[in-house]
Amino acid sequence: MAYLIPAEFVSKMVDAGEAKIFMSTRDTLIRAFMAGAILALAAVFAVTVSVQTGSPLAGAMLFPVGFIMLYLMGFDLLTGVFVLTPLAWLDRRAGVTIPGILRNWGLVFCGNFAGALTVAFMMAFVFTMGFDAPAGPVGEKLAGVGEARTVGYAAHGVSGWLTIFLRGMLCNWMVSMGVVGAMISTNVSGKVIAMWMPIMLFFYMVFEHSVVNMFLFPFALLMGGDFSVMDYLLWNEIPTALGNLVGGLAFTGLTLYSTHYKTAPKRELLQNNSFSGNKKAA
Amino acid sequence: MSLQLKAGQHSMAGRQFINQDFADFSLPSAGLLRDKGAVFAIADGIGSSQVSQLASETAVRSFILDYFATNPAWSVPHAALQVLKACHRWLYQQNKHSSYGQNPDKGYCCTFSALVLRQQQAHWIHLGDCRIYLYRNAQLSQLTRDQRSWQAGQQLLSQALGAGPEIVPEQQQLSLCAGDCFLLASDGLFDFISQPALATLLASVTASADLDQLAQQLANTALANGSDDNISVQLVQVLAVPAQSQLPGGLLASAQLPDGLLPGSLDARLPLPPLLQSGSVLDGMTVQRVLSQTNRSHLYLVALPDGTPAVLKAPSQTLANDDLYLEKLLREEWIARRVHSPYVLRAAQPDSGAQAMAPRSAIYSLFAYIEGQTLAQWRLQQATPDLQQVLGIIEQTGKALQALHRAEILHQDIRPQNVMLDAQGQVCVIDFGAARLAGLQSDQEVAGDIPGTALFTAPEYFTGQAGSCQSDLYSLAALCYYLLTGQSPYGPDIARCKNLPAQQRLSYQPIVGRHNDWPQWLDLTLQKALQVDPAKRYQHLSEFLYDLRQPNPLLGRELTLQAAYPLRLWQCLCYLQALLILWLLVV
């Protein structure tokens, strides 16, 4: 059977979270770098598809290939560890501490950023023949994304900041559904289907993904986008990352953990009554 | 395919009045043959004694009988050695308490050689000057070495069963091949038939040959060649050897678990149990409640047909094709049935007199139900744990490990989640999923993944070394440290150190000062048990358990320079002296 019952895959989530906290620095960085790079490449691919076909839906439908590739290769995104590692802490696994979790997040953030920056630089070079020619329609489109989604939010002040925060929450609700969904199945086709749905949804809805943005905005800056690094950090990356953290943890991690992993004690109480004769206590 | 053997033997007095040799063998049926193997033993009583025929017969008979009675978890060399040593001690005591006490040459003494063929291996244990030969690929080679010495122009035995307080038998093993032929013989045979002649005779052995007849023919040839000693010979022919890919214990493929519940081959093995819920019935047992469901296994509290509570451990559905995992799951109950200790989880037993359990319809293990909490849960309830209570828990866990180690089983996964504590404060070690059995070891497991959990697993596992009793000791000491402090002795970093240099850079974080009541020497004890290098830890669990209660004066003492670096110290002194002499010469 290529399917895990909920209690099984939630225990797998907690185990995975614990394993990530105890992962060596080297491995954490390598896996995070590759994840950031592959996701960035997938973003370029998706934008290329949507520009060339004129249909954003086509781009969104094909974007999940990046996420699927990196997940199948065992690489880690910041959005994934946001959801998984706190579960190990909640489950009071020995040796799992808040500093340990923060360390993991920090390393994954750095790794993702470095990977996305690498691809951003490589793609900027490719699109412009080594900064010697115009970028073409895809390059222009990518370069234009940055401005609207930084200065655009800033124009609305606190409401703008909250908007991007909420978009971040919505994004990682979906993305972490992809991460967790992949755990439900034990074969590749099942994992691919489970990941495809939520990732496609988030990309088409233009929710804010902190790692995708690590590529989009530095790329836009490289292509001469009219916003500053500070604009990017304050009005995009930071609220997005915070939104990703809250959304993923609240809507996916904690809900699954509390309903499927911590159900046992409640049942125990009910069942204790049944020992005293009340067999059908339900 | 299982191991298939054919054997024959002959023993005669020859030109002597009495036959002081004794030879016997046991070829058990399928289950026992796979677990313990077939045993062939030959003994030759010493000629100077009038009673040594009793010694040789006793040795052979009791070796065969006792070998099959040893714990199936023991490895063959260990079991053979223990049995032979017991046999030797008995004969030695008989000599001491008889009129032969002063003169063992006249007492109950004999040579002894035994061959055990189990699965793909041949093991032999040898003392004295009987011989074991292997005939393979038309070549005859002598496997044992004669333990003889020359004294005053006379050839004497250097070791014999029953003579001297201690014996050091020769023990070796080799891999079997189909077509191998083993020959065990006393000196009355091989001293009178040359090795090439023996090889020629063995070349005529075919699959259909009558080995008893051939053994008799060999003995008669020796007699005809002038043998003046007793002549004994055993022949063993290996017809088929089991394939290497067979799983170690073969529990999955065998009918070995209690009640003969499993069919005969891997292809026709039992299915996984369905997903059970409270109230479900499986093989006459009623599920009371679901204890836990993880991606590895499902635990259910069930009531046996007679109402006894038990824990049913079923594999997770996703592992249906993981034969090694399923094998280990079945092996857990196998271990629980064979290790008898109040501190080790028992297998589920219906009350005596109750109706027999229904045959199993699925793959699962059944254990006794322990009412209590795991140490992980217990630790969470203790703000500052009581030192004496923790030491009590560790001592009991240590006794559980000692019981397992005596059966040559390494637990390999001692951690708070795997130790239960009941309301009376009694400890019970559970979960043998990562256990390694010397008797059932397979290559697959040796090359497999790291057992246990990062913080409690001994560092040597991460660098690819095999575990030992010291590895379990490390886990036990780490458990003690965790129960006292709630932390790991090297912090969480230990889990990230996957090579030796990184591990050696770790520093032990002392517990002294965290609590006023804790004695300072406790740190020394824990530190020694938690050394990264297993050779630097306590060599025996009992030493560690003793040192937990008593300060060990040897531990705290700073080594003097001379004790720590004797060679270096004298070398330095010599260099200084040489320099001084040179300087004096110059001045």
pLDDT digits (tens, 9 = 90+) for B526-570: 999 999 999 989 999 999 999 998 888 877 666 567 767 778 889
d(CA B203, CA B190): 16
pLDDT at B559: 59
Q: How far apart are the first and last CA of chain A?
A: 28
pLDDT at B354: 58
CATH of the domain at A26: 1.20.1080.10
| pLDDT (average), residues B426-441 | 83
Q: Give which of A28, A24, A62 is closest to A45, Cα–Cα.
A: A62
| Chain B residue at shortest CA distance from A275 | B288
Q: Looking at beta carbons, which residues of chain B come within 8 Å of A95?
A: 454-455, 487-488, 491-492, 495
d(CA A248, CA A172): 5
Q: Looking at beta carbons, which residues of chain A come within 8 Å of B418?
A: none
Its domain, for residue A14, covers 6-262
For residue B320, the surrounding DSSP H or E stretch is none
pLDDT at B558: 62
Contact A84, A179 (CB under 8 A): yes
Tell me if A1 and B279 make a contact (CB, 8 A cut-off).
Answer: no
Query: How many residues in total does chain B contain?
Result: 587
pLDDT at B131: 93
Residue B454, chain A, CB below 8 Å: the answer is: yes
Q: Domain for residue A277, yes or no?
A: no
| Chain B residue at shortest CA distance from A267 | B289
B185 bridge partner residues: B131, B233
pLDDT at B572: 93
d(CA B483, CA B481): 6
State the DSSP code for B511: -
How does residue B48 score in pLDDT terms, banded at 50, 70 and 90? Answer: confident
Least-confidence region, from A90-99, A269-278, B67-76: A269-278
Look up the CATH superfamily of B4-240: PPM-type phosphatase domain (3.60.40.10)
Tell me if B498 and A9 make a contact (CB, 8 A cut-off).
Answer: no
Q: Looking at beta carbons, which residues of chain B come within 8 Å of A5?
A: 275, 293, 317
Whether B250 has a pLDDT exceeding 80, the answer reads no
| pLDDT (average), residues B224-248 | 82
Tell me if A7 and B294 make a contact (CB, 8 A cut-off).
Answer: yes
Mutate to test the interface with A, among B290, B291, B318 (most CBs of A within 10 A): B318
d(CA B7, CA B186): 17
How does residue A253 score in pLDDT terms, banded at 50, 70 and 90? Answer: very high
d(CA B127, CA B142): 14
pLDDT tens per residue across span B172-217: 989 999 889 999 999 999 999 988 888 888 887 777 788 999 999 9
Least-confidence region, from A23-37, A190-204, B285-299, B350-364: B350-364
Contact B373, A265 (CB under 8 A): no
How does residue B447 score in pLDDT terms, banded at 50, 70 and 90? Answer: very low
Give the pair of three-digit tokens for residue B1: 């395919």
Whether B245 has a pLDDT exceeding 60, the answer reads no
Nearest to A1 among B317, B482, B495 (CB): B317
Phi, psi (5° rounding) for residue B487? -130, 180
How does residue A281 score in pLDDT terms, banded at 50, 70 and 90? Answer: very low
3-state secondary structure of B384: coil
Phi, psi (5° rounding) for residue B493? -65, -30
d(CA B363, CA B531): 40
d(CA B83, CA B117): 16
Least-confidence region, from A53-57, A231-235, B65-69, B564-568: B564-568
Q: Give which of B403, B406, B397, B513 is closest to B456, Cα–Cα.
A: B397
Positive or negative: CA dihedral B54, B60, B65, B69: positive
B427-429 sheet: strands from edge to edge:
B372-374, B419-422, B427-429
| pLDDT (average), residues B347-375 | 81
d(CA A121, CA A143): 13
Q: Domain for residue A10, yes or no?
A: yes
pLDDT at B384: 84
Whether B95 has a pLDDT exceeding 70, the answer reads yes
d(CA B446, CA B450): 10
Q: How far is A90 from chain B (nearest CA, A)?
A: 13
d(CA B181, CA B137): 10
Which residue's structure tokens are 């007793």? B230
A111-120, A146-155, B408-417, B544-553: which is most confident: A111-120
Query: How many residues in total does chain A contain?
Result: 282
pLDDT cut 70: percent of chain B above it: 91
Q: Are strands B121-127 and B170-175 parallel, antiparallel or unpaired?
A: antiparallel
Residue B316, chain A, CB below 8 Å: the answer is: yes
Contact B425, B373 (CB under 8 A): no
Tell me if B294 and A9 make a contact (CB, 8 A cut-off).
Answer: no
d(CA B546, CA B534): 19
| pLDDT (average), residues A119-137 | 89
Task: Say which residues have a Cβ less than 8 Å from residue A31's Cβ, sequence separation at least 6.
Answer: A23, A74, A75, A76, A111
d(CA B394, CA B402): 12
Tell me if A95 and B496 make a contact (CB, 8 A cut-off).
Answer: no
Q: Give which of B291, B374, B416 is closest to A93, Cα–Cα.
A: B416
How does residue B262 score in pLDDT terms, banded at 50, 70 and 90? Answer: very low
Show which of residues 20-59 on chain A sit within 8 Å of chain B, judged by CB atoms: 21-25
Higher pLDDT, B209 or B374: B374
Q: Is A189 left (phi over 0), alpha (psi -120 to 50) or beta?
A: alpha
Our measurement of the distance from residue A85's CA atom to the centroid of its chain's CA atoms, rounded to an integer in Å, reads 13
DSSP codes joined into one string, B92-150: HHHHHTSTTTT-GGGSS-EEEEEEEEETTEEEEEEESS-EEEEEETTEEEE-S---EEE
d(CA A98, CA A21): 10
How does residue A134 score in pLDDT terms, banded at 50, 70 and 90? Answer: confident
Q: Crossing angle, helix A157-184 and helix A6-21, to 10 degrees?
A: 110
Give the pair of three-digit tokens for residue B492: 């969480």
How does residue A133 score in pLDDT terms, banded at 50, 70 and 90? Answer: confident
Give the pair of three-digit tokens for residue B266: 């891997």
Phi, psi (5° rounding) for residue B404? -65, -45
How does residue B441 score in pLDDT terms, banded at 50, 70 and 90? Answer: low
Q: Give which of B294, B293, B295 is closest to B318, Cα–Cα.
A: B295
Contact A196, A12 (CB under 8 A): no
Q: How far is A225 from chain B (nearest CA, A)?
A: 41
How does residue B516 score in pLDDT terms, banded at 50, 70 and 90? Answer: confident
Which residue's structure tokens are 């004496």? B388
3-state secondary structure of A7: helix
pLDDT at B405: 93
Least-confidence region, from B124-133, B140-149, B562-571: B562-571
Give the pair of three-digit tokens for residue B260: 């003969």
For residue B366, the surrounding DSSP H or E stretch is strand B365-368
Higher pLDDT, B289 or B492: B289
For residue B587, the surrounding DSSP H or E stretch is none
Number of domains in chain A: 1
Whether A47 has a pLDDT exceeding 80, the answer reads yes
| pLDDT (average), residues A235-260 | 93
Give the pair of three-digit tokens for residue B411: 């637990």
How does residue B352 score in pLDDT terms, banded at 50, 70 and 90? Answer: low
Q: Give which of B309, B263, B266 is closest to B289, Cα–Cα.
A: B309
Query: Which letter, b or e, does each residue of B332-369 get, where b requires 16 or more Cβ atoms within 10 Å of its Cβ?
Result: bbbbbbbbebebbbbbbebeeeeeebeebeebbbbbbb
Q: Domain for residue A44, yes or no?
A: yes
Q: What is the mean pLDDT of chain B?
A: 85
Q: Domain for residue A253, yes or no?
A: yes
How does residue B165 score in pLDDT terms, banded at 50, 70 and 90? Answer: confident
3-state secondary structure of A122: helix
Q: Give which of B445, B460, B523, B516 is closest to B489, Cα–Cα.
A: B523
pLDDT at B83: 94
ipTM over 0.95: no
Tell me if A186 and B290 make a contact (CB, 8 A cut-off).
Answer: no
pLDDT at A136: 85
Query: Which letter, b or e, does each residue of B508-537 get, where b requires 16 or more Cβ atoms within 10 Å of its Cβ?
Result: beebeeeeeebeebbbbbbbbbbbbebeeb
Nearest to B295 among A12, A25, A275 (CB): A12
CA angle, B473 then B476 then B478, to 5°: 110
Instruction: Tally A–B CB contacts below 8 A.
Output: 74
Whether A270 has a pLDDT exceeding 50, the answer reads no
pLDDT tens per residue across span A158-178: 999 999 999 999 999 999 999
Higher pLDDT, B118 or B252: B118
Phi, psi (5° rounding) for residue B6? -140, 140
| pLDDT (average), residues B249-260 | 46
CATH of domain B372-556: 1.10.510.10
How does residue B148 score in pLDDT terms, banded at 50, 70 and 90? Answer: confident
DSSP collapsed to 3 states, B18-47: CCCEEEEEECCCHHHHHHCCEEEEEEEECC
pLDDT at A119: 96
E-strand stretches of chain A? none
Nearest to A95 among B279, B316, B492 (CB): B492
Q: How far is B262 from chain A (nearest CA, A)?
A: 22
B469, B474, B478, B480 alpha-carbon torsion, rounded to 10°:
50
pLDDT tens per residue across span B299-318: 999 998 888 899 999 998 77
Least-confidence region, from B168-172, B402-406, B460-464: B460-464
Could you confirm whether domain B275-368 is CATH 3.65.10.10?
Answer: no
How does residue A224 score in pLDDT terms, banded at 50, 70 and 90? Answer: confident
